[in-house]
Amino acid sequence: MPKKKKDPSDKLAANGGEIHQTAGGDVPVLTTQQGTPISDDQNSLRVGSRGPTTLEDFHLREKIFHFDHERIPERVVHARGFGAHGYFENYESLDEFTAADLFQRPGEKTPAFVRFSTVAGNKGSADLARDVRGFAVKLYTKQGNWDIVGNNIPVFFIQDAIKFPDLIHAAKQEPDRDFPQAQTAHDNFWDFISLMPESMHMIMWVMSDRAIPRSFRFMEGFGVHTFRLVNAEGKSTFVKFHWKPKLGLQSVVWNEALKINGADPDFHRRDLWNAIQAGDYPEWELGLQLFDDEFADGFDFDVLDATKIIPEEDVPIRRVGRLVLDRCVENFFAETEQVAFCTNNIVPGVDFSNDPLLQGRNFSYLDTQVKRLGGPNFTHIPVNAPKCPFHHFQQDGHMAMVNPKGRVNYEPNSWGGAEGGPRESHEMGFRSFPAEEHGRKVRERSESFADHYSQARQFYISQTETEQGHIAAALIFELSKVEKTAIRARLVSHLPHIDPKLADRVAQGLGMQEKITPATAAKEPRTDLKPSKALSIIRNGPKSFAGRKVGVLVTDGSDRKVFEALKAAIEGEGASVEVVAPAVGGVQASDGSLIEAKEKIGGGPSVLYDAVAVIPSEEGCESLLKNAAARDFVSDAFAHLKFIAYADEAMPLFEKAGIAADMDDGFIPLGKGGAGAFVAACRKLRNWERELVVMS
């Protein structure tokens, strides 16, 4: 028999939460591009195990540098994005905590540009991929541009930036075949994740409904890292940034996401564009979690660890202002595509922490923009230029639009007055917080980063039973696409540390016969962390149906009075109506008037709407029975747990689709007072009780 090839992963072993590879035999030694052998590919070089990353780390520099430059011309990650202009309005003075100018005066508005994005997909991918969403905010303050470059998930896969190229390489298309596109359901991704226990908290978030939001308008944003706020006296306060949507949280179900991608791959883009054009300006409130060194030192987890959160129950969120998006871009390429966000863009009164992932991002982002936008003058592009006065001696370079005037382009100089150019200001200028650092230069992870499962468990137990089921189903789906059984088994071995029932459920769903042997934990997981209500989407839904959309299916002869009453009730709630008809030209109502249609049935499936209403005439319903798209309209709405309003004439269509209108209270007849009852029911967004019927 031929000799069986050894699996390189057999030489990988978890040790203290880290992965060490011993080269030997036919396994080559990892080197730099210059051929220098690498001793540690898991940790950046830093001052002490919790200290800042050093500039001399040539391996980090080369690895990130090459990664930043490997896509032409689109972004390596966050390639598919959509942006809009708006403003941030401050609620109160925060001079107690920060000298940042935009936080000093209540009611002051600061111009803003926001770009939402997916992470893994290319520019041409669909909006509803199961993925993290970027949530990047550029604030054009009077002291310069401040970029809060965050996501819709508050944690990340890795603790050290040196692993970012590996993570994205594993998540992107496999290099020999260039697929799959915009999805992580493949061997490379789950192989990497199964060997990185620190990713398990993030995996719970990404397998939850957070990764398939209904709209950009209905998702949270997070700064992810711990930053510092510094006041005028130089006092530092740690801070985490949150963006809370005023319309509440909402996601889709997985089958619905797949069908939305087919019906409208630009669904999220179109939704944001249409809302702003209609004057329904999306809003988020900026929330701050503020805490001092004493809290940080006593907290159960390390505040520098980007795979951890601080539960809102431990540090309540202080809402300090609102972000409003009120203007669409005039040219997508000039603004949304060319906007450049950098985590290192901060203003006086804001400073960094030693989070090793943040430290690496501060290097990476600037380098990325230089490559992607052609040179060092990307700040000359209007969307990237500050809106406050700026003066410097930087000159020339590719695409330079503005150069210093006069003969002086250096500092210090002895030329006086305006001829001598700008000068630094100790009083007004940015000063880094003088944190005291000490320690040996080492490549190691702090022991305080070693607990990889406790918060993953906390997130899972904070979900409703419905949401827990979605996490299990997502894991089963993703891992079912993994061809190598050893990778599936290795990933499942982490799950008993999160929840044994979850592990059993996933193993059963994958048809695994062997008993699950839990992975070795670098640190014993805790089971005493309490659930956090803030981590659940269903528990943080909207208070009304405002901002949502109802698809109303009509035919010739539809009752005009019923339609008008329904439309008035929906619009009175702050939601909108979109008419779907057999033909896009519309229908003739019962009184002979025209009801204009937005979509024909085949082009306006129910997946595009948050709820639906079906109000055909008796004769019109007869014609719908022969229309497969009409049957799908109601059957998909039922399967996706949506509330369905109906006229009695629609009953044959329900029966043809195999559903009964008396099956649950998610069906609301449009008799007397029916429109109001329908809108009231829609405030719950989904009839989650129906899921047991749909899945049985």
Question: Which residues are catalytically annotated?
Answer: 78, 151
Residues 6+ apart with CB under 8 A from 346: 146, 147, 352, 430
Residues 6+ apart with CB under 8 A from 399: 374, 375, 377, 380
Which tokens in the block code for residue 346?
Answer: 């901060």
Residues 6+ apart with CB under 8 A from 589: 554, 557, 558, 559, 560, 563, 595
Residues 6+ apart with CB under 8 A from 72: none
CB contact at 8 A, 227 and 352: yes
CB contact at 8 A, 468 and 460: yes
Which phi and psi (to 5°) does residue 474 adopt? -65, -45
Spatial distance between the Cα atoms of 456 and 527, rounded to a whole number of angstroms: 11
Owner of token pair 């949502």: 548
Check whether the bond before 412 is cis (ω within 30° of 0). yes
Instruction: Measure Cα distances from 287 to 104, 228, 239, 275 in Å.
Output: 16, 14, 10, 24
Spatial distance between the Cα atoms of 356 and 672, rounded to a whole number of angstroms: 62
Helix (H, G, I), strand (E, B) or coil at 531: coil
Sign of CA pseudo-dihedral 561, 564, 569, 572? negative
Spatial distance between the Cα atoms of 310 and 316, rounded to a whole number of angstroms: 9
Which tokens in the block code for residue 124?
Answer: 């041409």
Spatial distance between the Cα atoms of 312 and 310, rounded to a whole number of angstroms: 6
**H-helix or E-strand containing 505?**
helix 500-509
Spatial distance between the Cα atoms of 288 and 292, rounded to a whole number of angstroms: 13
What DSSP letter does each residue of 332-373 carry, written as one string?
TIIIIIT----TT---TTEEE---HHHHHHHHHHHHHHHHHT
Of 378, 303, 387, the residue nearest 341 (C-alpha): 378
Q: Over the range 414-453, which residues count as b (16 or more CB within 10 Å of their CB) and which as e?
A: eeeeeeebeeeeeeeebeeeeeeeeeeeebbbbebbbbbb
| Helices 485-492, 500-509: inter-axial angle, 10-degree rounding | 160
Which tokens in the block code for residue 549?
Answer: 């959309």
Q: What type of residue sits at position 509?
A: G
Residues in the chain: 696
Owner of token pair 């944190």: 435
